[in-house]
Amino acid sequence: MAMQGSLQKKLLHTFAALADLGQEIAGTNDFEEMVRTSLHLLLGTLAIRKGALAEYDEAEQALKFIVVRGLGLQLQEEIPVDEDDLKSLTSLDSQGIAISAEDTHSNQFLKNHQAQFDFTRFELLIPLVVRGRLTGIILLGKKASGDSFSGEDLETIHAMARHIGVGLNTHRLMAELERKAEENRRLYDGLRAIYKDTVRAFASAIDLKDKYTQGHSERVGRYSEIIAREMGWSDEEIEGIAIAGYLHDIGKLVVERDIINAPYKIDAKKSSELNRHPAAGYEILSPIRHPYADIPLMARHHHERVDGRGYPDGLKGDEIHIGAKIVNLADSFDAMTTDRPYKRRRSFEDVVADFRRNTGKQFASEVVIPFCYAILKEMEGQTKERRIMKMLGRDYLNPERDIPLLKDLIAELESEALSASAGNA
């Protein structure tokens, strides 16, 4: 009797754990193992030799056996369930029905699947129903003693059946949740890809309009990305700055083509027309809900200067968004290192001199220094790819000649930045 009591306790414990699984159902294997153990314990406790448990798969409208005991391979793996079956099973609730009794054929499900059950000699069919939804069935054979089930046996069976039903239901809900989350992830990834493709399409549209700066927007995007990565930005932020780079000149779409394509340095009037493009870009980009909220601002301020002499808002120093400072540097660097209609590109020595002269005036040292490091690392072969060198083309950089130049510049800018921060403190 004591033996029986402790087994019952163990049994109840197991079923409670099953119903409780919640998010612990990490893998399907754990879950099936749990269900298997539960059925085996139930059979063991009541000394039943044969038993089976099937989970109801709503999507496939079939009962799928998870555990079959004492029947060898006699059972089909799946039982298809139609509307009538479903109705007759859920109407039984967890009361169950004796299979061999005369009322067998009063149940539509048993009638429909008579062939399946006749030879198996099951005694009892218990549908597992949670809140009106079928989650599975349990089939039980005779007790080994030959006795029929007592009232107490039936009570135990029904209590266990409820627990298993809840466990199956939880498992199903978790699986549904997982499926929905996966679907959302896919949708989200899809939208992101569309967004990125759209951005790229715009970048090429901008570059097409300006026939002398082919690929400019794309390169500015890449340089910006490289600078931000060197500055330790997160992947998400880096993606954002790349997009800001691609789109920084989108306002040029509203500037007349012959001003953009002027094969000479333009006069003041035309230049003020051209200078509308950052604010125009802001107007174009603002209504879009970007995954990275500051993109319109970065476009608006990519011609601001840290000394306050830029446009359109004449912002100074820290008033300028850090992303705009990055795009500004990337933009200027590309302008200096590509041929334009009225001038050839400048040598790297010249670019270094420009950085030296204009850091603290046009450029912010907080972005110039990381950019110099990124170029230096590529020249020293410390990076997997040589993205900057690829964009600049063969032979533009000469490590032997240019590494010392860059190192000097970095040392100088760093000591300036140091004394500036000491002065502030």
Given the complex with Fe ion, which of 99 and 242 has the nearer CB atom? 242
Q: State the nearest-atom distance from the C-beta of 175 to Fe ion, in Å.
A: 51
* Residues at the contact surface with Fe ion, assessed by CB under 5 A: 249
Query: Which residues pair with residue 130 across a beta bridge?
Result: 133
Given the complex with Fe ion, which of 69 and 276 has the nearer CB atom? 276
Given the complex with Fe ion, which of 167 and 251 has the nearer CB atom? 251
Q: State the nearest-atom distance from the C-beta of 249 to Fe ion, in Å.
A: 5
Q: State the nearest-atom distance from the C-beta of 57 to Fe ion, in Å.
A: 58
Given the complex with Fe ion, which of 66 and 250 has the nearer CB atom? 250
Q: State the nearest-atom distance from the C-beta of 264 to Fe ion, in Å.
A: 18
Given the complex with Fe ion, which of 172 and 252 has the nearer CB atom? 252
Given the complex with Fe ion, which of 249 and 294 has the nearer CB atom? 249
Given the complex with Fe ion, which of 153 and 249 has the nearer CB atom? 249
The CB-nearest residue to Fe ion is: 249
Q: State the nearest-atom distance from the C-beta of 246 to Fe ion, in Å.
A: 12
Q: State the nearest-atom distance from the C-beta of 303 to Fe ion, in Å.
A: 6
| HEC-encoded secondary structure of the chain | CHHHHHHHHHHHHHHHHHHCCHHHCCCHHHHHHHHHHHHHHHHHHHCECCEEEEEEECCCCEEEEEEEECCCCCCCCEEECCHHHHHHHHHHHHHCEECCCHHHHHCHHHHHCHHHHHCCCCCEEEEEEECCEEEEEEEECCECCCCCCCHHHHHHHHHHHHHHHHHHHHHHHHHHHHHHHHHHHHHHHHHHHHHHHHHHHHHHHHHHHCCCCCCHHHHHHHHHHHHHHHCCCCHHHHHHHHHHHHHCCHHHHHCCHHHHCCCCCCCHHHHHHHCCHHHHHHHHHCCCCCCCCCHHHHHHCCCCCCCCCCCCCCCCHHHCCHHHHHHHHHHHHHHHHCCECCECCCCHHHHHHHHHHHECCCECHHHHHHHHHHHHHHHCCCCCCCHHHHHHCCCCCCHHHHHHHHHHHHHHHHHHHHHHHHHHC
Q: State the nearest-atom distance from the C-beta of 216 to Fe ion, in Å.
A: 9
Q: How would you classify the pairing of strands 133-140 and 51-57? A: antiparallel
- Dist CA 222 CA 406 (whole Å): 20
Given the complex with Fe ion, which of 171 and 219 has the nearer CB atom? 219
Given the complex with Fe ion, which of 123 and 249 has the nearer CB atom? 249
Q: State the nearest-atom distance from the C-beta of 197 to Fe ion, in Å.
A: 23
Asked if 246 and 253 count as a contact pair (C-beta separation under 8 A), the reply is no
Given the complex with Fe ion, which of 55 and 249 has the nearer CB atom? 249
Q: State the nearest-atom distance from the C-beta of 327 to Fe ion, in Å.
A: 9
Query: Which residues pair with residue 329 across a beta bridge?
Result: none
Q: State the nearest-atom distance from the C-beta of 311 to Fe ion, in Å.
A: 10
